[in-house]
Amino acid sequence: MDITETQYAAADSVRIVGDEAGDPDAPTVILMHGGGQTRRSWGGAFRALVDAGYHVVNYDARGHGDSGWSVDGQYSFSMGARDLGVVAGRSARPVALVGASMGGIVAMQAIVEGMRPAALVLVDIVLRPERDGVERIRKFMTAHPGGFASVKEAADAIAAYNPNRPAPKDSSGLARNLRQGSDGRLHWHWDPRILPPTLDDDMAALDRLAEGMRSASLPPTLLVRGARSDVVSAASVAEFRELLPSLEVLDVAAAGHMVVGDTNDVFNRAIVDFLARKFPPAAR
């Protein structure tokens, strides 16, 4: 599979870096990772979608991975939606959006602001995620401001956050999520300012998004939920279904919030099957 690195200039000149592969004349699927991740988390899904006949774009959100950091700390959902618009603007055809956690929120924000994707896949994120689950994510992301002495220390922090997830045999993937700071220690490869100042700020932004979604035109949507997730509950799924009765839901029994990393094969089959029905690769 030939992968081309692509760069985009955001509205405020932040550099957005992504990969693309597949026939450029085929329908485009855009992959958006979760907060604190990078585009590397989509490796399996990226290959599966290209093999299924799609043109796939997989990019690092601003403040993450190889993309630039905002000089003045602009990381709102709306700013993320603008970045998505720049990325999607390279395609002359309709696109499908696949977003995990933060990536799914940005996709919904873009829809509220007028984007009309042909299909949407949300990975363990809904209109009103559980407050306790959001708080646990925030605590993990802010727990080590001084960084780590080694990759193993970072791996231990992840294991404490997600004890049910098997430890990777190869630490090279984790190493790509770390950067060496001026202090010589390893830090996560994201800008700490991506998080709103408080949990209440975070939840208020999600409430505003939920209200906006009530008047938006929604595409065919699949929600992939980790059955062990503390972010998406049965009640929050039911609320989403009230807004979108046609919502399709797949519960992945062995997965937590990070569904993509927990059960790649199950997730990949689910999104390829859904998109084959709602946004087939032969649709030119």
The strand pair at 55-59 and 119-123 is best described as unpaired
Cα–Cα distance, 268 to 23 (Å, whole number): 19
- What is the model's pLDDT at position 257? 47
228 and 221 in contact (C-beta within 8 Å)? no
- What is the model's pLDDT at position 168? 61
Q: CATH number for the domain including 244? A: 3.40.50.1820
Residue ranges in the chain modelled with pLDDT below 70: 163-172, 253-264, 283-284
Cα–Cα distance, 281 to 284 (Å, whole number): 8
- What is the model's pLDDT at position 284? 47
136 in a structural domain: no
- What is the model's pLDDT at position 170? 65
221 CB-contact burial (10 Å; exposed 0-12 / middle 13-18 / buried 19+): buried
Mapped onto helix, strand or coil, the DSSP state of residue 161 is helix
HSE-up (13 A, CA, CB side) for residue 86: 22
Q: Which domain holds residue 260?
A: 4-130+199-278
Total number of domains constituting the chain: 1
138 in a structural domain: no
User: Which helix (H) or strand (E) segment is 8 a member of?
Assistant: strand 4-9
- What is the model's pLDDT at position 275? 97
283 in a structural domain: no
Name the nearest CA neighbour of 218 among 245, 256, 253.
Answer: 245
Question: Is the Cα dihedral 83, 67, 171, 181 positive or negative?
Answer: negative
234 in a structural domain: yes
47 in a structural domain: yes
170 in a structural domain: no
Question: Is the Cα dihedral 123, 280, 110, 21 positive or negative?
Answer: positive
User: Helices 264-278 & 43-51, crossing angle to 10 degrees?
Assistant: 40
232 in a structural domain: yes
Cα–Cα distance, 229 to 262 (Å, whole number): 11
189 in a structural domain: no
**Per-residue pLDDT reduced to its tens digit, 96-115:** 999 999 999 999 999 999 99
111 CB-contact burial (10 Å; exposed 0-12 / middle 13-18 / buried 19+): buried
Question: Is the Cα dihedral 274, 240, 95, 217 positive or negative?
Answer: positive
Cα–Cα distance, 113 to 107 (Å, whole number): 10
Q: How many CB atoms lie within 10 A of CB 159?
A: 13
